[in-house]
Amino acid sequence: MTQSDSKTSRSELDQKTIALIEQIAAQVRANIDHGRLPEISLPVRSLENVIYDLAKGYFELGGAHKTRTLTTNTARSFAQTLRMMALSRTMVEHDDFATKREVYYISKNWGDCRFDEQVESDAVMDDIEASASVEGLAREQLRFYPEAHGGSVAGRLTVIDRNSATGETVEIDCSRLGSGAYSIPRSVEHLWFRTDARFILAIETGGMFQRLNNHRFWETAGCIIIEMGGVPTRATRRFIRLLSDNEKLPVYCFVDCDPYGFTNIYRTLKVGSGNAAHVNRFLCVPQARFLGVTPQDIVDFGLRDATHPLSATDVKRAEDALENDPFVKAHPAWIAAIKQQLSMGVRAEQQALAKWGLNYVIKEYLPKKLSNPESFLP
């Protein structure tokens, strides 16, 4: 697919989006005209309707739908759903966008159906997104942008964007940003890349990112480093996915050795979350691998005395993963790793490596790990 292909297909996708919204509204009007209570059918987003697709390697929505019929209890969200669809349609038409927060504020002009809390407007937005995703339409097609921008990027990467005024191409060389970094925008659909990197290193903490960037780790290691800042935002996930897909780069994750790091940060990046299964097909990165810190690293790198005991929450989270998480259950290596951690009873932060010196991570740990990517957890 070339850039001009993309341009064509983008306008087709816009047509598809508008048609979808009009079709739903027309159906509601038809119901009313026939003297029936109008209904909107929406995919069920609750966990019961989420399936882990082993082949694709991520969580997906199942086929269940809920029917939102206009009654006392639903009157408000029924009206809100329709008004938000109308908003989306207008934005597609004018090629504009609104962040989730902007949508919430825009609703303040919707009289009685204004949202009182942003969680409400987010939920309705999710419903509409889910409907669109079933038709293969990503959220950005609806012109709803996430509030958070993506993480920072540095390393052997040139991002190819365009000047929105002139259409002229713009290239950003992420190896020439000094101690600063490239800040991923809220929507990345239109980006292209050029790189000679051998892999992408996705890093949990901002502090570690700054350390690797200040010491230009990416230069010697031949990679792109991306700051996730805890659980990665949607923009970050989509960026990594696009970059990895287009440039055929492996993605290595460098996060804390604790159940939160495994099952929340890494697992979200790789297979998505059950709560937002309707967007996983666009966001998750099935090709990601877990570089560390692993429970075995604690042994191999002598970190034992820089660990902390597992909290009750940690233990619960780990046991829950072993019992219920289809991703973990599909991977014996993960089962073994989590069991190992439970039997050790401790967790380690990325910072634990600092016990051997603040830059031990650059000089020893990462080179040693990267010499054997086959050993990474799946």
Partner 1 sequence: MAHRQREISISEFFLKNRHLLGFDTPAKALVTAVREAVDNALDACKEAGILPEITVEVSDRYGKSKVIVEDNGPGIVEDQIARIFGKLLYGSKFHKLSQSRGQQGMGISAAGMYGQLTMGKPLHIVSRVKGDKLASEMYVSIDTGKNRPDIHKKKQLRWDRPHGTRVAMEMEGHHQTGPHSVETYLKQTAIANPHLAITYQNPKGEVIRFNRSTNTLPKRPFEIKPHPYGIELGRLIQMLNNTNSRTLLGFLVDEFSCVGKKTALSIIALARKHSDRELSERSHPKHIAHAQATALHKAIQTTRVLAPRTDCIVPIGEDQLLTGLRKELAADFFTVVTRPPAAYRGNPFQVEIALAYARPGGGDVEVDAGGHMRKRATRDEPASEHLIAQKDEPVRLLRFANRVPLLYQQAGCAIAKAVIQTNWRGYGLHQPKGSLPIAPMAILVHVASVWVPYTSESKEAIEPYPEILKEIKLGLQQCARGLAQYLRRETHLHEEYDRRVYIEKYLPQIGIALQEILTLSDEERDLTIKKLDDTLHRSRTKRGAPHDAERFEDQP
Active site (catalytic) residues: 105
* 250 binds, options partner 1, a second copy, none, Cβ within 5 to 8 A by partner type: none
Per CB under 8 A, the list member of 13, 21, 318, 352 interacting with partner 1 is: 21
Q: Does 33 bind partner 1 (CB under 8 A)?
A: yes
Q: What are the tokens at 306? A: 């820089």
**Kind plus residue range of the DSSP H or E element containing 292:** strand 288-292
Whole-Å CA distances, 192 to 157, 246, 267, 370: 11, 8, 26, 27
d(CA 89, CA 17): 8
Eight-state DSSP code of residue 262: I
d(CA 162, CA 164): 6
Among 132, 126, 172, which Cα is nearest to 153's?
172
Q: Does 61 bind partner 1 (CB under 8 A)?
A: no
Would you tell me how many other CB atoms lie within 10 Å of the CB of residue 62?
Answer: 12
Contacting partner 1 within 97-136 (CB under 8 A): 110-113
**Candidate ranges 68-76, 104-112, 115-123, 288-296; the one touching a second copy (CB under 8 A):** 104-112
CA dihedral 45, 48, 324, 229 (to 10 degrees): 0
Task: Say whether 1 sits in a helix, a strand or coil.
Answer: coil
Q: Does 83 bind partner 1 (CB under 8 A)?
A: yes
Rg (CA), the chain: 23
* Nearer Cβ to partner 1 (33/168): 33
* 267 binds, options a second copy, partner 1, none, Cβ within 5 to 8 A by partner type: none
Q: Does 112 bind a second copy (CB under 8 A)?
A: no
Q: Does 371 bind partner 1 (CB under 8 A)?
A: no
Binding site for a second copy (CB under 8 A): 91, 94, 96-99, 101-102, 105-106, 108-109, 145, 147-149, 152, 159-165, 170-172, 176-187, 190-191, 205-207, 210, 213-216, 219, 227, 305-306, 308, 349, 351-352, 354-355, 358-359
Binding site for partner 1 (CB under 8 A): 21-22, 25-26, 28-29, 32-33, 35-38, 44, 63-76, 78-80, 82-83, 85-86, 89-90, 110-113
